[in-house]
Structure 1
Amino acid sequence: MLLSRKPAPTLAPASPRRHWGRWLLLGVGLLVLLVGLGVTFFLDPWLRRTLEEQVAQSTKGRYQLRVTEFRTSLWQRRATLRGLHLRTTAATSPDSARLPRLQLALGQLSINGVGLLALLRRQEVPVDSITLDSLTLHLASLPQGGSQQPLHQRLPCKAVRLGQLALRHVRATYGAGNQAQVRLGESAVVLQDVWLSAAGAADSGRVGYAAAVAAQVAGATAQVPGHEVKLVRATFSTGSRQLRLDSVLVHPRKPISSVRSSAMRVSLALPQLVLRGLDAAQLSRRRFRADTLRATRPRLALTLPTRKPPVLHELLQPYLAECRLGSMQVTGGQLRVAGLALAPALADVAVAANGIQVLPRQGTPTDIYYARAWQVRTGAATATLDAPYYHLSWQSLRADSRTGQMQIRQVLALPTMSVVELARSKKHQSAHVSVRLPEVVLTGLDFPAAANQQQLRATALLVRHPQISTRSDGRFATNPNISVVTPEMLGRLPFQFALNRFGIQDATLALTFRSPRDPQPGVMSINRLNVKLRNLTNDPRRMSAATPLTGEATGWLQNQCAARMSLRANLLDASGRHTLRGEFGAASLSMLNSMIVPTRGIAIRRGTVRRIRFQMQLDRTAARGTMWGEYADLKLQLLNQQERPGVLHRVGTSLVNGIFIRDNNPRKPGQPLQTGIIASSRERRYSVFSLWRQGMVSGLLHSAGVPAGMAKKLSEAE
């Protein structure tokens, strides 16, 4: 095979081509590289210096800002600042001096998703998020004055729409010197959808400019006048509309005591407080609206101030234009009030209130301490009566303004010292009274009148099964003061009262008196006592001579003699005029020996009462009336100091029984009954019950044959 000898064809030389596209791409790349290097090495430092200079310039040198690191990413629309430090320097002008002294340290500030084009055009700038992390702030004082323009009007652009603003790991203090007035522990705040614009400010559903707010505080203290307040933890969220405080403590600088000062002193330990249904948007507009407030196991002690503090609506007026709360509940509380003569202390307190609205009161308010209705329950309670002589307590209390009922169980009023110690302390005779009331019930109680007008108005007051004992010592001087236990004094009480019915059910009274002549005290008892009073009031519209107090009482004297009495009295009659009627059933007169033998030195040897009736008219000067005593075989015995009939006493007894005493009344069957004149002058230092006793003694003695003058004198003897 022959090989071709033709020369191989050669390629024609390529025509020159322009590679300008490659050079363009290379140039763009170099430009991007230069811009990137410029941003990295020149823009961020320039922005950092500009920011620091702007802070100094805008505050006229008052503040100095230092930023450790400033990084931006134009492609990712992000800026990150680290190590920010802002502090106060010397003021260079009066205007800058108005800015507060502060120190601020911020670990990191992150700004993401900034709308750069909108920012350059000064339109509404969208921002995805701004986060401040590890913020520590010390503020020495609050700003003085400030701009009157709202924040959105001071922006360099039309508006800002921020998706989220978060402050994390925040610590703050406020106050000059070493003792900060406010100290904020580890805290965090997150605001969602913050719209800095006129529309955002006008949106009634926003808190400030934010659509939602959540905050958490872990540890806070505050110094307020005379007190230190501590808070262990607090959380709040507009999403749940709930504010929760855990472990609130309030400590007074001066201890709680009975000594008052110009300011109130409060000691409070509150484990938990939860406020639900809080309308934070309205709160930012000075309107407080919430559904429920619940406080759990608060322990509160306070000393009342010397001056009455302002009422609640006056205190809130500078801060709130409106204050409404659907309901309030307190459970498991303890309360102690010092600075009052009563000095009450209550345990296991539960309080519920509905329809609370704090407003100035006009006319005759129907609310009760700003609420439509209250329910109160307490456990054991103590107080002091006529300090320091009596101790008051009860086991439980129930009150409900909706039903108008109040019930108190196991009430005790007991002396704190003996009969002799009490008389020595008061420097005169004083009744040593012990009271036990198993149950006290008020129905139809007008709670608004009690709270707002200091008036006691109720349909009925019933005291069930009371036990009352009184002890007195006649060796001490008589009380020099006029007794207040009288009808006219009852009408002069410093508050108005009106009870349609007052009742005492199955009471027991034990009366003990130690006379100077005998160490053995005299005793008397009234058993199975039942009392019913109607129209017990000092209201001039209800009390008059035509519509007086009326009532009846039944019981057993010495548990042997049935007795019945009726009363009629005008409590507004300044003369103390009233009428008493009554009768005693059959009994042996010797039942009186337990009282008259040790106190009068007289014994009733024998004698039987068939029936005794009496009627008396009494006033501030005397008791007058008539007694009808039907009795038989009456014999007395005069005794010596040893309660024995000596020779002379036997002679005296014979003379008394033979000359003065009428053995039988009537003397013989069919003869008329000899009436007794009731006449006894009143000693105003003694209670009205002493006057009742004096009248009956004078009538009994006169009906038994003792001359009227002697009977009167004997009845008035101490």
Structure 2
Amino acid sequence: MRRPSPVSPAVPVASHISASRAASALRRHWGRWAVGLLAVLVVGVWAAVTFLLDPWLQRQLEEKARTASQGRYQLRVGSLRTSLLRRRAEVGQVHLRTVSAGPGSARLPRLEFTLGRVLVEEVGVWALLRGQEVPIGSIRLDSVAVDLARLPQTTDPRPLHERLPGKGLRVKYLMVRHLTGQFGPPARPTARLARADLTARDLRLSAAGAADSARVGYAASVAGQLRGVLAQVPGHALSLRGLRFATTARQLVVDSVAVHPNQAISGRRSANIRVSLGLPRLVLRGLDAAALSRRRFRADTLAVRAPRLALTLPATAPPAFHELLAPYLRECRLGALVATGGRLRVAGTDLAPAVARVFLTGTGLQVLPYQPPGASIFYAQAWQLRTGRATATLNAPYYHLSWLGLKADTRAGKLALRQLTIVPTLSVVGLARRKGHQAAHLTARVPALRLTGLDFGAAANRHELRAGALTVAHARISTRSDGRFPENPEISHITPEALRQVPFLFGLDQLIIHQATITTHYRAPREAQPGILQINDFGGTLRNVSNDPARMSAAHPLTGRATGRLQGKCRVRVMVRANVLDPAGRHTVSGTFYSAPLAILNSMTIPTRGIRFRSGTIGQIRFRMQLDQQAARGTMWAGYTNLKLQRLNRENQPGLLHRVETTLLNGIFIRDNNPRQPGQELKTGRMHSARKRRYSVFTLWRQGLVSGLLNSAGVPAPLAKKLSEGK
């Protein structure tokens, strides 16, 4: 029997090694497959993202626009490229337009929107997936065009950041380049924009960004520029050539603004205000843009260069400026307003003023919050004004007012006018015919007029004129009238009692006149040559010129002293005292005429009365008279010598009958000398002349002087009174 052969110990070892090798080879085989599958998967994902995600996103955007607008809008995206690795997306040739009325047409307007290119970089994808505030490096939009028929009727009162998904967005840099657009109906748009470029930094559209008071809206800073703006506003067309602003520089610059009314500026009041404005340049400095985004306007200086403004006032006064701003701003403060080289014309008012070369500076302006008028003057703490030539119409259309220069300083309480002129627009005859009666044809030329101690606040806020002194230097005043026309049937306003009827309170400590010339021309019916009376070197001071009951009374009346030279030869001194609040018009006038030949009066008496002073010399004439609405009464002390009168005919010649009258007048009535002999008593004259309220108070003064002089010369008082009251 055969014995089994023994098993070799090397066989199990070899089998083990062979099995191990087989297992290792199998693992290597599956590893290569796993890597290959992973590579295929990565390539597939990349291919899907590259070739399928962008078209899918593009389709989703277009579909979302259609469904969100309920079919009213159609969105077309020309190209869309995304890169998850680079965290960027680029979209080109975007076109959004209205395609149908749709159920949402009531709240969604007709819209045409095109976008050449938008690039979004450094998007925080993980924050987006986790629903956190999404950081974005930059968003750049290029070639944006918007055509909008009207504003959408939004009903969502929430702020923008609350309407965004997630926790909001934070964009480091936003740029909009070459933005154009128009607003309104396509046929007649109400606004057009040729180009705008805007940038914003650190734009945070979130609750934290909205709560940050240092931001401009949601941005840390904003800058931009606009060009070619056209707009239609109520009754006007507006154009703007350029605008630049930067919140970091706190500055806004406007170039060439023009506003034109749809109807021309005219002299008649219109239903609404009409404005024509030309503004070559405006610079706003120190603007607090963050406060402005919260309806609070704060700025340091607003400078306006060479503005040109013309306007027609409306029939109904518009609301005050603070009332117009209140719906839009809670606060409006400006450190200084500076306007240089401006021009202004105001129509729709009888004055119709026009001013050239206006230089205006206002400091400390506060419009809102509105405070009742107090120390401020038209919302400002102080104003300084300087102008060139100005024109206006007084007592339209009869007189033309102008000056060559004006300076005013509210803080110093000063106002000065240079070369002030008042001239009639018609001839003496033309003015009388137009008014239908005799009228004072007034011409005034004042080289210098100054007001000091002027309370501008009282004038602006309470419509009161309060000043320390009014000084008038070297004025030349001339009046002309024609006696061939009927007398004025109206009561004269040139009287003391008329001052109490001025529709505003006034108080002037002093009215000072230096070296004035006053000339009166009167054309009597009997003679074409006018009579002339002139006072040269006239100067004086009136004190307490007021209609304020707090400062005017019989105990504290208006008082005044004046001096001058009658006809350039007779020195005159006059004093006046009047309570202008006395309804009876009572006042007192006294004065003195010093030595002069009586022949100086011939230039007035010959053409108007047919009387010539052949001889006579005044030694001294003193008078004192009381006047009221009924008459002038008083006493005259007239010292003179060798008085001889001569009556003349219409040709100013002594005819036969007039020679007889002259002989009787000089022989019976006229006292040659007063006193008759040296050392004798001076005969006083009674001053009495009835007042005609159609004439000014100066006419009554003249009547009283004539009656007193005639009575002093020997003419009986009744006849002297009658002669003084004649035309």
Aligned to 1:75: 85
CA shift at 1:24, angstroms? 4.8
How many angstroms apart in 2 are the aligned matches of 1:380 and 1:21?
100
List per-residue Cα deviations over 1:112-131 (Å, max 9, x = no partner).
11011111111121100111
- Structure 1: which amino acid aligns with 2:50? T
How many angstroms apart in 1 are the aligned matches of 2:431 and 2:101?
72
Aligned to 1:399: 408
How many angstroms apart in 1 are the aligned matches of 2:695 and 2:48?
106
Aligned to 2:110: 101
Structure 1 segments, 4+ long, off by >6 Å, are none
The yes-or-no answer on 1:339 pairing with 2:358 is no
List per-residue Cα deviations over 1:443-502 (Å, max 9, x = no partner).
000001111111110000000110011111111111111110000112211111100011
The yes-or-no answer on 1:310 pairing with 2:319 is yes
Aligned to 2:208: 199
The yes-or-no answer on 1:37 pairing with 2:47 is yes
Q: 1:452 to 1:594 in 2, by over 3 A?
A: same
Residues matched between the structures, number: 705
Contact 1:61 1:96 in 2 (8 A): no
CA shift at 1:322, angstroms? 0.7
Aligned to 1:66: 76
CA shift at 1:417, angstroms? 2.1
List per-residue Cα deviations over 1:575-602 (Å, max 9, x = no partner).
1110001010000001100110111000
Structure 2 gaps of 5+ residues are 1-17
Contact 2:533 2:567 in 1 (8 A): yes
How many angstroms apart in 2 are the aligned matches of 1:328 and 1:447?
18
How many angstroms apart in 1 are the aligned matches of 2:373 and 2:158?
43
Aligned to 2:643: 634
Contact 2:332 2:369 in 1 (8 A): no
Contact 2:268 2:349 in 1 (8 A): no
How many angstroms apart in 1 are the aligned matches of 2:572 and 2:454?
32
- Structure 1: which amino acid aligns with 2:100? A
Q: 1:153 to 1:428 in 2, by over 3 A?
A: same
Contact 2:589 2:626 in 1 (8 A): yes
Question: How is 1:322-361 mapped onto 2 (pairs within 5 angstroms)?
Answer: 322-359=331-368
Aligned to 1:278: 287
The yes-or-no answer on 1:228 pairing with 2:234 is no
Q: 1:675 to 1:400 in 2, by over 3 A?
A: same
Contact 2:620 2:640 in 1 (8 A): yes
Question: How is 1:61-210 mapped onto 2 (pairs within 5 angstroms)?
Answer: 61-93=71-103, 97-210=106-219
CA shift at 1:27, angstroms? 4.0
Give the one of 373, 385, 393 matched to 1:384.
Answer: 393
Aligned to 2:655: 646
List per-residue Cα deviations over 1:638-669 (Å, max 9, x = no partner).
11111111122111111100100000101111
- Structure 2: which amino acid aligns with 1:127? I
- Structure 1: which amino acid aligns with 2:522? F
Q: 1:363 to 1:334 in 2, by over 3 A?
A: closer
Contact 1:515 1:599 in 2 (8 A): yes
Contact 2:331 2:369 in 1 (8 A): no
Aligned to 1:437: 446
Aligned to 1:5: none
CA shift at 1:22, angstroms? 5.2
Aligned to 1:240: 249
Aligned to 2:278: 269
How many angstroms apart in 2 are the aligned matches of 1:604 and 1:21?
146
- Structure 2: which amino acid aligns with 1:677? R
Give the one of 51, 55, 72 matched to 2:61.
Answer: 51
Helix, strand or coil for the counterpart of 2:300? strand
Aligned to 1:682: 691
Helix, strand or coil for the counterpart of 1:176? coil
Helix, strand or coil for the counterpart of 2:501? coil
- Structure 2: which amino acid aligns with 1:32? V
How many angstroms apart in 1 are the aligned matches of 2:658 and 2:200?
102
- Structure 1: which amino acid aligns with 2:455? D
How many angstroms apart in 1 are the aligned matches of 2:291 and 2:278?
29
Question: How is 1:313-712 mapped onto 2 (pairs within 5 angstroms)?
Answer: 313-359=322-368, 365-712=374-721
Contact 2:500 2:580 in 1 (8 A): yes
Helix, strand or coil for the counterpart of 1:585? strand
Moved more, 606-615 or 422-431: 422-431
Contact 1:62 1:97 in 2 (8 A): no
Contact 2:93 2:115 in 1 (8 A): yes
Moved more, 589-598 or 472-481: 472-481
- Structure 2: which amino acid aligns with 1:486? T
CA shift at 1:426, angstroms? 1.4
Moved more, 487-496 or 262-271: 487-496
Helix, strand or coil for the counterpart of 1:113? strand
Instruction: Give the fraction of aligned pairs with identical amino acids, expressed as a percent.
Output: 58
Aligned-residue Cα RMSD (Å) equals 1.5
Q: TM-score, normalised by structure 2?
A: 0.95
Structure 1 gaps of 5+ residues are 1-12
How many angstroms apart in 1 are the aligned matches of 2:335 and 2:512?
38
